[in-house]
A and B are shown apart, each in its own frame.
Chain A
Amino acid sequence: MRVVVADDSMIVREGLARLLADAGFAVVGKAETAQELLRRVELTSPDVAIVDIKMPPTYTDEGIAAAQQIRRSHPAIGVLVLSQYLESRYAMRLLEEAPERVGYLLKDRVSDIAVLADALKRIDEGECVIDPTIVTRLLKRSRERGPLDELTRREREVLGLMAEGRSNSAISQTLFLSPKTVEANVGQILRKLDLPPSPDDHRRVLAVLEYLRTGA
């Protein structure tokens, strides 16, 4: 898989590039700024671009803006945003426009090459990827008694994986369940939470995350 790495910190950029190269990825471009990233993407047409959320000049959310721009102009190129922010708001901004081929991972995960490689693979396959820490945080948030309390333990597990952006088949592999069981669980969850019955996998992430964020 061909990837481009954009991070303003040299040590992170180079380290990430070497780690990815060692794991069999082809790093076809490296960028220090958002503009450079867009140029590299234009030139090399990678499968996935890995983007730090904070980049010059304002060091706020240039990464998300760049990711959205790439998704708009190159729908076939996936984007993985690396972030230090736990707040789901940033992830939602990334998903809002087109909830596919995008990912939002916390930065402390990047050294775990297995997680990184899995995320890149899923993004390349068209899924979206949300960091499990963010999903766990949303699931744990205290709220008044509501439909979430009616879910069984298994259903909550499935809901968490749905929120991470996993497809039914991925969920069945992770939880060692048959695809039929997962399908039944998903149907049950959507019914209990009163979410639209069979949205496609990508829209489903958006609906589930929005539900977890606002409780509605």
Chain B
Amino acid sequence: MLGLLPALVYDPATFGCSRCADNLLLVADEPGRFDDLGRLGIRFGLAWSLLLIAVAVWRAVRSSRTRQRVVALVVLAGCAYLGLVAAAFATSLERAFVGSGDLERRLWLGQAVALTTLAVAVGWSLLRARRTRSSLARLVVELGESPPPGRLREGIAETLADPALEIAYPIGEGRYVDARGRPVDLARGDDRAATPLVREGRTVALLLHRADLLDNPELIEEVASAARLALENERLQAEARARLEDIRLSRTRIIEAGDAERRRLERDLHDGAQQRLVGLSLALRLMRSHLGTDDGGDLAVRLDTAESEIRRAIVELRDVAHGIHPAVLTDEGLAAALEAFAEEADVRLAALPQERLPAAVETAAYILVAEASKRGAASASVERRDGVLVVEVETDAAPETLVELQDRIGALDGRLRVERAPSGGVRLHAEIPCA
């Protein structure tokens, strides 16, 4: 508009061009007004260039480090160009029109260089985006082949250039798990941010990523929509895994609660019933000794009988309590308990772990050996190898409680195999994680 307005007040004839055609737009021949309008245009151009520089610099300063690195060249080249344009305007202000002198030529040359640089910079950033997009495309293709758990995270981490990126899947009750169904801690440092990926009003996954990726929400959006199906799929798998883990844990808890109950019973029998019986036998003995030797011969005999009955009851109670839970297992550990077991059972012990292990692991290994040696002479070895307790027992036949044993060991994430032994009997091979 400011370029056209002067045409309304410019008559070429006034400026000495008699051969020029008439200005058809001429409203009034006013050379003074023409100069004013020219200056106004130049001032406007100057202000506009400076404003653009200010906006570009302001935005560059406000954006994150990574973004600054990416746009630095574009902003620099752009600012240089705008600066040169502003300089050209500034030098033309006196004359009221943009001239074509020596200085202007140099400024134009500078502008051309700046523009070329700007073009290269924009081209480069486009190339970068294209690269990201093609890695995204690769990811999408790969996801079509149902990736193993964790691969999706790797792919997205690669695409977003954030190796520490995590994906958390909501599985209800405010719980979040990773692809393998393990709980994810959402508490992060300041440099991490969480972006929920929402589909049909429901959060499918939570991306835990570098905070500065938020400068580029389109990229996250693009990744999310590309991987949406895979994310949904992986969320379902993660949920299933988490539920399985829940069940395993609850199985462990049930067995541990049972064991704790047995320990409590054993203790109660010892500390309650047995102590009372011991006290009773002492009382009877006192009565007996106060009776003297000469009087109440019959009564004395009856007291003796009662006392020996109580003694037998104490012994039986001890056996029952031991059968419920051997205290030595809790007090002294697996090796001591198995050694004590071997004092009365037909079992040969080859190797025993000398260190203490988790109570549930010790109990499982003990019961396995004890049950196996009920089926005949047994030989057992219990060894710890790389965080796994390996129990091997050879005996005549598989224990009757094999299913219970498998349940117990399974609840600890272990395995129990039954093989035919060269001797003709069976070999029980159990591996129980005990790290």
Interface residues of A (CB under 8 A from B): 8-9, 11-12, 15-16, 18-19, 22, 54, 59-61, 84-90, 107-108, 110-113, 137-138, 140-142, 144, 213-214
B289 within 8 A of A: yes
Report Cα–Cα, A180/B187, bound state, in Å.
81
- B279 touching A61 by the CB < 8 A rule? no
Complex contacts, A112 vs chain B, CB 8 Å: 285
> How far, in Å, is A113 (CB) from chain B's closest CB?
7
Q: Mark each residue of chain B from 295 to 328: 1 if its CB lies under 8 Å from any CB of chain A, else 0.
A: 0000000000001001100110010011000111
B72 within 8 A of A: no
Given contacts A15-B283, A89-B332, A113-B285, A213 and B339 within 8 Å (CB-CB): yes
What 5 pairs across the A-B complex have the smallest Cβ distances?
A: A15-B282, A11-B279, A87-B340, A111-B281, A108-B314
Closest to B349 in A: A214
- A111 touching B284 by the CB < 8 A rule? yes
Contact of B330 among A60, A87, A214 (CB under 8 A): A60
- A9 touching B328 by the CB < 8 A rule? no
> How far, in Å, is A66 (CB) from chain B's closest CB?
15
Given contacts A60-B327, A141-B342, A213-B343, A12 and B267 within 8 Å (CB-CB): no
Number of A-B contacts (CB under 8 A): 100
Contact of B282 among A16, A60, A84, A89 (CB under 8 A): A16
- B330 touching A107 by the CB < 8 A rule? no
Q: How many residues of B contact A (CB 8 A)?
A: 41
Report Cα–Cα, A59/B267, bound state, in Å.
8
Given contacts A54-B271, A84-B318, A12 and B278 within 8 Å (CB-CB): yes
Interface centre among B307, B326, B343 (most CB of A within 10 A): B343
B22 within 8 A of A: no
- B279 touching A59 by the CB < 8 A rule? no
Report Cα–Cα, A203/B310, bound state, in Å.
36
B348 within 8 A of A: yes
Report Cα–Cα, A93/B284, bound state, in Å.
33
- B271 touching A15 by the CB < 8 A rule? no
Report Cα–Cα, A16/B283, bound state, in Å.
9
- A87 touching B267 by the CB < 8 A rule? no
